Amino acid sequence: MEKKDMTKSNWQLLFIGIGIMFVGLVAVALVGPNYHGIPALIASSLLLLGAITVFWSLATKFE
């Protein structure tokens, strides 16, 4: 298995994913213990989208 170099696009996507996850964590903190309804759905969706973006940026190699 060869070593994959991170390109500029990979780094940009990685930091975008980390930012989305941070916004999702702040949204979860604002929702608080009432973790149901539309605000909680949005917060958990942001967390999931951020995690997928981070793993996608690490798994793919952009040319």
| pLDDT for res 1 | 54
| pLDDT for res 22 | 95
Give CA–CA dist 61/57, Å, rounded: 8
User: What would the 3-class secondary structure string for 2-59 be?
Assistant: CCCCCCHHHHHHHHHHHHHHHHHHHHHHHHCCCCCCHHHHHHHHHHHHHHHHHHHHHH
Mean pLDDT to the nearest integer, 3-17: 86
At 35, the amino acid letter reads Y
Residue 20, pLDDT above cutoff 70:
yes
> What's the Cα-to-Cα distance from 47 to each of 24, 41, 43, 62, rounded to whole Å?
5, 10, 6, 24
Mean pLDDT to the nearest integer, 15-44: 88
The pLDDT mean for the chain works out to 87
Residue 18, pLDDT above cutoff 80:
yes
